[in-house]
Amino acid sequence: MIRHFGYLCLILCLGFAVVALPTAPLLAQGQHASNTPDYVAWEDLAASADEMIERAEATSAELESMRSQISGWRQQFLDMQGANATAIKTVQDQLASLGPVPENGEESEDVTAQRDELKRRLARLQAPAKLADLARSRAEGLILGIDAIIRTRQTEELLRLGPSPVNPLHWPEAAKTLFRAADTIRSEVGTNWQSAFRRDRFKDSLPVIFVLTFAGLLLIARGREWSNRLSDRILHRETSAGRWIVAFLISLGEWLLPFAGVYALTIGIRLTGLLGPQGLLLLGILLPAAFIFLLARWLALRIFPRDVLHIPLLRLEEGDRYTGRLCGAMLGLVVAAFYYLQHVAEGLDWSEESRNVIIFPVLVLASLLLWRLARLLFRHSRAMREDEGSDDSFRDKLARVLARALWALAILSPLLAAIGYVSAADAMMLPALLSLMLMAALLLLQRVLTEVYIMLNGNRDGAEDSLVPVLAGFVLVLASVPIFALIWGARPAQLHEAWLRFTQGVSLGGITISPTGFLTLAVVFTLGYLATRLIQGALKNSVLPKTRLDTGGRNAVVSGVGYVGIFLAALIAVTSAGIDLSSLAIVAGALSVGIGFGLQNIVSNFVSGIILLIERPISEGDWIEVGGQQGYVRSISVRSTRIETFDRTDVIVPNADFVSGTVTNYTRGNTVGRVIVPVGVAYGTDTRRVEKILRDVAEAHPMVLMNPPPGIIFQGFGASSLDFEIRAILRDVNWVMSVKSDMNHEIARRFAEEGIEIPFPQQDVWFRNPETLATKQSSGATFAVEARDTGANTAHPTETDFEVTKGESDAGGDGDGR
């Protein structure tokens, strides 16, 4: 009852969701009339965009700004495409009610006038949507033109050959650039210190500066140690899932506290008022760079932990984990340096030669660290193969592919930079490093979700391979796809465009499938499915037990309701989602012809299953025999029937065999059945006496019915015995083997008491030459002595010396065998 109540609550919730889904378009529809786009302003903007695209002289930032404006206009046009939808539907229904125009033109003037008025009204209602669709088409064309220009510029930038950083002619200029930046900052500090106003302001802010500086240095120096000590104390006594989660949350302080210290230091330096424009620029870039480094170091400590409490993320020894922590921290420093130097070069307007020379050492260091990290991944892959005993593990393959990719990147990136393709090398190295950080974060989040599942489930065995953590990891990977796209150069406008295309739906064969339609389809089908299961449960447990239907009939009704309910749920779901399947009718008809030949056996079994459920020649629990197989029917599905044989093995029989073949049902309608017990007695036994004994044995058994009475049949004269049979009707034929065994025991006991002999086969052996065998036996010793002296072989009887006659027996056991 509680289960059905839960089904009912879920159905009600889904029903409210289905009712709420259509309300959004209706609410938006009321706003269309008041939000009509200003097409004059749009024409001016579109003309400017056309000129900008034609000249292709605007900067990328200007193009992105123009694209953003056009995208906003396009959204307005998309919203207008549903304008007056309700009124249009009403007018179309009115036109449909008038019917088609008569071919002979014989129609009353009133109807013709009404039809013309409805057509004019329909044209007026559809005009805003058509105008919006025309403007939307132009906006999409402009957006495609801008995207093409930006994409071409990005490609040209990546393939452009610039100054080589290994050329010694460029090194002095790079050194001068660094010294010039340092001199500029020193000059700004000296100039500001000479200002009396700034000195007074510095003195007034000195206590606050001291507190911020002290707090910042303290957090940077001790914050990580405090957090690490507290998390170790929590995990010291017990390593349960709940304590692991708490310790993980506390471990966030290992990078949050030092970052807070860096932030305090930057605030304190700003309060001095001694920095100029370039100094403030460098200080502002320092904060996100520090954030990147501290986050990368924290990720390295989690991926390569000092103490392994449970199954580690990477199966490495302690020495390799130490190397991994060092490489992770250094890679974080490299990413921070990349970010810092690129933004400084852009802000201070460094020359391309200086920029390439200054960034090249960082690029080489990153390549060396990636090479070392790839070796650790190969060791992890080898450890996984040794633990799992298989070379085909998905995780193992993924680790090896990633390691090879890192090796290739570590070799290719410095070579490209040395040649002069520094932009291409940067576009490969920095996204790769950020992707590694993101993958490490995903691994940690997956572990956190697994520990949460373990805490809720209370069982750690096999939790990592359970369905819920795997699905959670899959959702995390899907959610990270846009982030990976941004890391590898995708523009936010492109992601917005992809999302817009996704929300508009995909057209397949004239059918548009959108997320809203898919959600409606899923919710309505789930609602129908749950309602079907609820009705089935009510029928099975409450309604059908009160009827006169047998078990097989009740199961047939429940199964039929299930099939009909699921079919109706699918039909209503497709209709509610607004999916028009009429355009696929021709394709479906053509496919059905081709597929029908290949699936005719499946269709035949399906139809046979429906026939079995309707006619019910067999039911669950029946003892049947079909195709030489005997057993009990355990389940009847639409394709096959499962029979459990007497040796407890399952036999799957196609339903077509029951319809087209011969089926013996031993328990159809009732369990009454017959048992036959054959008995043989020796020749010379009184047959009437045997008949009386067998009748007494049959009538004495409690499972034998007296109406009709058991029969004793004298079958005839066998080769060795007089053959009798007991034929009796049993109350329950399922006990036939036990009854037969009991009767055989009782017959053996009664025959022994009455002195009646049960015959058995005997054999007589005839020798062809008994005299020769007697002579050989009497002289065996002489032959043995001669054989030892002369080495001759001893003669033995062969198969030709005797003859075996089988099948000859004496019924009484005392015949002469002839």
- Choose between 378 and 394: higher pLDDT: 378
CB 231 within 8 A of CB 307: no
- Please state the rounded mean pLDDT for residues 159-188: 88
Q: Lowest-pLDDT range, 23-27, 131-135, 194-198, 242-246?
A: 23-27
Structure tokens at 587: 């394709």
For the cut 90, the answer to whether the pLDDT of residue 364 exceeds it is: yes
**Tens-digit pLDDT profile for residues 666-691:** 887 778 888 999 999 998 889 999 99
Q: What is the per-residue pLDDT for 561? A: 87
Q: 3-class SS at 88?
A: helix
**Contacts for 643 with CB less than 8 Å, ≥ 6 apart:** 624, 626, 629, 631, 632, 633, 634, 650, 651, 652, 653
Q: Lowest-pLDDT range, 77-81, 261-265, 383-387, 475-479?
A: 383-387
663-665, strands of its sheet edge to edge: 650-654, 640-644, 629-636, 623-626, 663-665
Q: What is the per-residue pLDDT for 590? A: 63
* Interatomic CA distance for residues 684 and 759, integer angstroms: 11
* Interatomic CA distance for residues 492 and 114, integer angstroms: 52
Q: What is the per-residue pLDDT for 511? A: 64
Is pTM, for the whole model, over 0.85?
no
- Please state the rounded mean pLDDT for residues 228-253: 81
Q: What does DSSP assign to residue 164? A: -
For the cut 50, the answer to whether the pLDDT of residue 75 exceeds it is: yes
Per-residue confidence band for 346, with pLDDT thresholds at 50, 70 and 90: confident
**Tens-digit pLDDT profile for residues 443-459:** 889 888 888 888 887 77
Mean pLDDT, the chain, rounded, equals 81
**Tens-digit pLDDT profile for residues 718-776:** 888 899 999 999 988 888 899 999 999 999 999 999 888 888 777 677 777 766 666 65
User: What number of H helices and E strands is found in the chain?
Assistant: 27, 12
Q: What does DSSP assign to residue 663? A: E
Q: What does DSSP assign to residue 792? A: P
Alpha helices for 205-317 (secondary structure H): 206-237, 241-251, 253-272, 277-303
For the cut 70, the answer to whether the pLDDT of residue 433 exceeds it is: yes
Is 631 exposed, middle or buried, given 0-12, 13-18 or 19+ CB atoms closer than 10 A?
buried
**Tens-digit pLDDT profile for residues 480-524:** 999 999 998 888 888 888 887 777 766 665 566 777 777 888 889
Per-residue confidence band for 630, with pLDDT thresholds at 50, 70 and 90: confident
Residue 728 belongs to what H/E stretch?
strand 722-730
Percent above pLDDT 70 for the chain = 83
- Please state the rounded mean pLDDT for residues 458-477: 78
* Interatomic CA distance for residues 598 and 619, integer angstroms: 30
* Interatomic CA distance for residues 652 and 642, integer angstroms: 5
- Please state the rounded mean pLDDT for residues 160-168: 89
